[in-house]
Structure 1
Amino acid sequence: MSQTEKALITKKATREAFGDEIVQLGKENKNIFVIDIDIGKSCKTGEFIKQLPKQHVNVGIAEQNGAGLAAGLATTGKIPFVSTYAVFGSLRMAEQIRQEVCYPNLNVKIACSHGGLTPGNDGGSHQAIEDMGVLRSFPNMTVIMGSDYHSTRKLIRQAANTYGPMYLRFTRDAVPVIYDENEEFIIGKAKKVKTGKDIAIIANGDTVYLALEAVKTLEDQGISATLFDMHTVKPLDREAVVECLNIGNIVTIEDHNILNGLGSAVCEVAAEEGRGRVKRIGVQDRFGESAPYEKLLEINGITIENIIKTAKEMLS
C-alpha cells in the first residue's frame, strides 16, 4: 500500500465510539449511568457529563470504589458503565469485579479505553496486554473488543441491552474504519469478513484491519483465506472456530499477550476437537515500552508482513 493510499484510510479510535454511543444510550434509557475514574477526558465521557449530569458519577482516582458503586447501582436496576483505562479496569479492579459483579451476576459494564499496545508512548505501565485474558477467566463475564468505530458502537449498544457483567475494550489510538455503519454485530457470534479454502485467520480488535490487508495480499498470490473478526473473546464462537478447523490451518492475531487471550481460546477448542494447527501472533509475553503504537506492533510481529509469512509457512 502506498503512502497516498494509507492517507486516504479513515481512522477513528474506538474510544470515540464509546463516547458517542453512550450519550445516545443515556438519552434513551435513564437507567444508564457512567462511573468515571477521574479520566473522563481520555475515556471520552465529556459529552455524557455535559448532557446527562444526573446519570454521571466521578469517584476520583479510586477504581475499586467505582466497581463497588457500580455493583450497588446495578442492584437497584441501573445499568452502570465503569469507564477507565484497560490496565486499571481489569487489574486494579479485578477483585471487586470478581466478588461484587461477577459472583452475584450483576448488570455492570466495564468500559475501558487504552487497550493493548495502543497507549504507545505511555509505556508498559499503561499498556493492557493481559486484560482480556484475566477477565475471560471470571465466570459470568463477557469479553468484547470491536475492531473499528462502527462495530464498537453496535457492540456497545447491544451490551447495554443485554443483561450481565461485560468487559468492553477500546483503543486509545485511531484505527482504520472497516465496516459500514449499517453492518450488524451479535455478541458471541464472530463476523465472517472473507471466505476462503486454504487457510483460516481469526483476529480481533485493532488487528482485524491488518489481517484483512494480509488476506488481500495472499489472494493476489493465489492463496485463499477465510477471515473471522472474533470480536467476542468470551463466549467464544465455537462454531466459527470449528469451521476454521475444517480448513485445517489457523492463524490467530491479537493486540494482547498470546497467553490466555484470543489465540489461547482458539487453541482450547482445537485441543478439545483434536485436530487442526494453530499459530498465534500477538504480544510475545513481554511488557510494552514507550514507543509509537505501530513500532510496538512491529516489535511483537503483529504486522501484515508477518501474517503473510506465517500463513505461507503453515501451508508449506
Structure 2
Amino acid sequence: MYIKCGCLQLARQVFDEMAERTVVSWSAMIGGHAMHGQAEEALELFSKMEEASVEPNAVTFVGLLHACSHIGLLQEGRQFFRSMTQDYGIVPDIEHYGCMVDLLSRAGLLEEAREFINKMPIEPNSVVWGALLGGAKVHKNIEMGEEAIHNLMELDPRNDGYYVVLSNIYADAERWEDVAKIRRMMKDRGLKKTPGWSTISLDGVVHSFVAGESDHPQIEEIHRSLDELLEKLRHRGYVPDTSAVLLDMDEKNKERVLYHHSEKLAAAYGLMNTANGTPIRIMKNLRVCSDCHAALKLISEITNREIVVRDRNRFHSFRHGSCSCKDYW
C-alpha cells in the first residue's frame, strides 16, 4: 500500500522492521524500489535476499527486470533473465519477455528487441508489442512503430493509446498527413483519445484536473498561482518544450497548451493548499510529458518541496531540482 501511494520510505521502514520476511515481502519491496526508479537499491536488496537464503520466484525477477529497464541497466537485465532459468529453474512467462523487450527498446536496441520478439517461444501479446512501440516513440523510429502498430491492431484493436503513440511518432517527424490518417482511422473505429487527467488527495478529498479544462471551484486562483510559478521558472532558465505538443499549431498556442497540463494544475493546487515542507503526491493516467517533467524538477527546487508523480509507467520523485528517474523514463 505504501509503495503504491508513493510513500517508499514508509514502505521500507515497515519492511526493515519485519521480524520475518517471506519471498512475498522481499519481492514487493524489490518491485517497489524498481517502480520508484531506485534500481541500485532493488539490486542491493536482492543480494541481501540471497544472503538470507530466501528463494526468489517469478515475481521477484519481474521486479528486478523492471528495475533494470527503468534506469537502463542493460547488461544486468540480460544477466537476470539468464539467471532465472539457469540458476533457479524459473521458466520465463509473458511478463518477463515484456520486461526484456522494454529494456532493449528503451536502450535504443530496437532491431534486437524485434529479433527477441520473433524468437520468443510463446506468442507475444499486446504488452510486448506495446513495449516496442514505446521504444520506437522514444527513439523516433517510424518503421518500427508501424510494425508494432500492425500487430497491435490485431491483438488489441480497441486500445486508443497505441494509435495515439503512432500518431505522435508521425507528428514528431512533421508527417501531418499520416497524423490525419491515424485520426481518421480512430474516428472510423469509434475510438477517442483518452484525455490526460491528474488527481491529488487532500484531507480525504480527491481533486481531479483535466488538461486544458477544469470545473474546479478554485481554478481561477490555481491559474494565477501557476502563472506566478511559471514566471519564477523562466527566471531560472525554463523554456517551454513545445516539442511535447504534437499538434499542428503555432508556438504560442503550443505554450498555452503546455501551461495547462493536468499535472501542473494539480501541483499548483497542492502547493496552494498544503503547509511548507509537505510532500505533494499526484496520480496521473498517462505518461508525464517532457515539458512537465522539466518544469516539476524546477518547481521542486524553487519551493523546496518533494513532488511525487505516479504516471502510467512509474513513480517520479522530484526533489531539489532533480528526479528519481535520472531523466531516463
**Structure-1-length-normalised TM-score:** 0.30
The structure with the largest strand share of the pair is 1
Name which structure has the greater RCO, CA cutoff 8 Å, separation 6+.
1
The structure with the largest helix share of the pair is 2
Rg larger in structure: 2
**Structure-2-length-normalised TM-score:** 0.29
